[in-house]
């Protein structure tokens, strides 16, 4: 029985086109671009997150500075002292 909607159904499908050699690797697309845009943006992101987690302004500033300089805030008390948190750049 022929398939009149798909006349080429009897032929094998062509393989998908290969990606060009200079195409972006998936791993590169997943990298965090916060620090690539500058340490000030990383500072703002970490400061805001620490403040959202109910850290004091002083503690949030220290955490954000460590994150902006190293990509890792280290462990710190958050959520009103009930949790220990850490902000880090995925590798």
Q: Over the stretch 51-64, which tens digit does the pLDDT of each residue have?
A: 999 999 999 999 99
Residues in the chain: 91
Tell the burial category of 44 from Cβ atoms under 10 Å away from its Cβ (0-12, 13-18, 19+): middle
pLDDT at residue 29, rounded to an integer: 43
Mean pLDDT over all residues of the chain? 77
Count of C-beta atoms within a 10 Å radius of residue 50: 24
Identify whether 22 is part of a domain: no
Identify whether 20 is part of a domain: no
Identify whether 69 is part of a domain: yes
Identify whether 62 is part of a domain: yes
Instruction: Give the 3-state secondary structure of residue 59.
Output: helix
Q: Is the per-residue pLDDT at 66 higher than 80?
A: yes
Q: How many domains does the chain have?
A: 1
Q: Is the per-residue pLDDT at 3 higher than 60?
A: no
Identify whether 51 is part of a domain: yes
pTM: 0.59
Identify whether 23 is part of a domain: no
Identify whether 13 is part of a domain: no
Whether residue 87 contacts residue 73, with contact meaning beta carbons closer than 8 Å, is answered with yes
User: Which residue range is the domain that position 52 belongs to?
Assistant: 38-88
């Amino acid at each position: 029985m022929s398939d009149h909607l798909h006349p080429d159904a009897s032929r094998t499908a062509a393989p998908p086109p290969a990606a060009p050699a200079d195409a972006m690797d998936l791993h590169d697309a997943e990298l965090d671009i916060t620090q690539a845009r500058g340490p000030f943006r990383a500072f703002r992101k970490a400061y805001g997150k620490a403040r959202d987690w109910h850290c004091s302004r002083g503690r949030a500033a220290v955490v954000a500075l460590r994150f902006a300089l190293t990509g890792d805030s280290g462990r710190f008390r958050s959520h009103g002292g009930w949790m220990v948190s850490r902000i880090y750049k995925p590798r």
